[in-house]
Structure 1
Amino acid sequence: MNGDELAGVVDLFGGLTRAELHDALAELAFKRGEDFDRDAADEDVAAALRAYALVAVEAADERVLVPGPVAFPELPERASDLPHIMDVEPRDVPRDDLASAVRSRLEDEAADADPGSDRARYLVDVTYDAEAWAPVDLGDVRASLTED
C-alpha cells in the first residue's frame, strides 16, 4: 500500500497507533479476500514514514501515526467502512504537536544528511510542505540542508 493510501486510512480516524493501523490493514485485506502480510505492511509504513507521508506524534500519552506533510490522503478500496468496523475513537491531534514532531524529525535527519545529496534535496522540499501543513518555520533546517 502506498503512503497516500496509508495516510487515507489514518486520516479516517485523525490518527492511529501502529497496532490500530495493522488492525485496519488486516480488516481491509479480509474485506478484499486477501491475506494480510504484516511484514509487507511494516515495510509500507516504514517507507511512508521515511517519505513524510506519515508522521509519528505523541498524542494523549500514546504514539500515533497521522497523515504527513507530503501526503495526499486517498482511501483504498473498501476503507470507508473501517470507522464502523473498528472500535477506535477519532483523534484530534493539535497542529502544534504536529509541528513539533516534524521539526524534531527534520532536525535529526538534517544533522545526518550530506548537504546537496538527493536526501537533503528531498528534505528541503519536505520543509516547504511542512510549513504549509503545520505552524512551523523550518528556514534554519533548510539552511543546514543546503550548506556547502
Structure 2
Amino acid sequence: MDVTGDELAGVVDLFGALTREELGQALVELAYKQGEDCDPSAFDPDVDDAIGTYHLVSVDADDTDEEWLFPGPVAFPELLEGATDLPHIMAIEQRSIDRERLGEAGKAQFQRDTDAAVAAGDTERIEQLLDVSYELEVWAPVDLAAARDRLDEALS
C-alpha cells in the first residue's frame, strides 16, 4: 500500500499524535482492509519522507523515550479508505501538545535541515526549505528569518 505525506498526516490527525510504531500498526490495519498483508516497518521510508517534507513533525513524548508524530506545517491531512474506523480498532487516546513546543521541534528540525542543505550545496533542498519556512512560521510561533537569510545567501 502506497501512502502520501498527506495521508500519513490524516491517520495521525485522527489521534492528535501517534508514535512511529502506532502509525505503522494503523497502516497495517488499513492495508489489511484493502486485502494486503504487510509489516509495519514497510512504511518506515514513507514516514521518513513525510518527516523530511514536513508533512509530519516528530516531538519527544512527555516522560518517555518515545517520539510522537504530529501533522506538520505543509500537510493537508487526507483520510485513507477505512481510516475513520481506526479509533475504534486501536486503543489510543487523543493526544495533544503545546503549540510552542511543537513549533520548537519543527524549528529544530528546520535548522538541522538548513545546515545539511547549505553544507551540501543542495539547491533543490534549499528552495524546498525556503517554501517550508513560511508554512512553518504560520503553523507555529517560530521565527525563521535568520535561517531563511542563510538559505537565500546559499542560493546567491
Residue 135 of structure 2 corresponds to 129
Residue 30 of structure 2 corresponds to 28
Instruction: Choose the corresponding residue for 1:89, options 93, 97, 115.
Output: 93
Residue 66 of structure 1 corresponds to 70
Partner amino acid, structure 2, of 1:35: D
1:116–1:145 CA contact under 8 A, matched in 2: no
SS where residue 8 of structure 1 aligns?
helix
Alpha-carbon displacement from aligned partner over 1:109-134 (angstroms, at most 9, x marks no partner): 11121367110110010010001111
Structure 1: gaps spanning 5 or more residues: none
Q: For the aligned residues, what is the CA RMSD?
A: 1.4
Residue 151 of structure 2 corresponds to 145
Q: Give the Cα–Cα distance (whole angstroms) in 2 for the partners of residues 111 and 29 of structure 1.
A: 37
Q: TM-score, normalised by structure 2?
A: 0.89
Task: For residue 52 of structure 1, report the CA deviation from its aligned partner.
Answer: 0.7
Work out the percentage of aligned pairs sharing the same amino acid: 53
> After the TM superposition, which residues 99-114 of structure 1 pair with which residues of structure 2 at under 5 Å, given as runs?
99-114=103-118
Moved over 3 A (4+): 37-40
Q: Give the Cα–Cα distance (whole angstroms) in 2 for the partners of residues 146 and 116 of structure 1.
A: 12
Q: TM-score, normalised by structure 1?
A: 0.94
Residue 76 of structure 1 corresponds to 80
Alpha-carbon displacement from aligned partner over 1:90-120 (angstroms, at most 9, x marks no partner): 1012101111001111111111213671101
Task: For residue 39 of structure 1, report the CA deviation from its aligned partner.
Answer: 4.4
With 80-89 and 51-60 compared, the bigger mean Cα shift is at 51-60
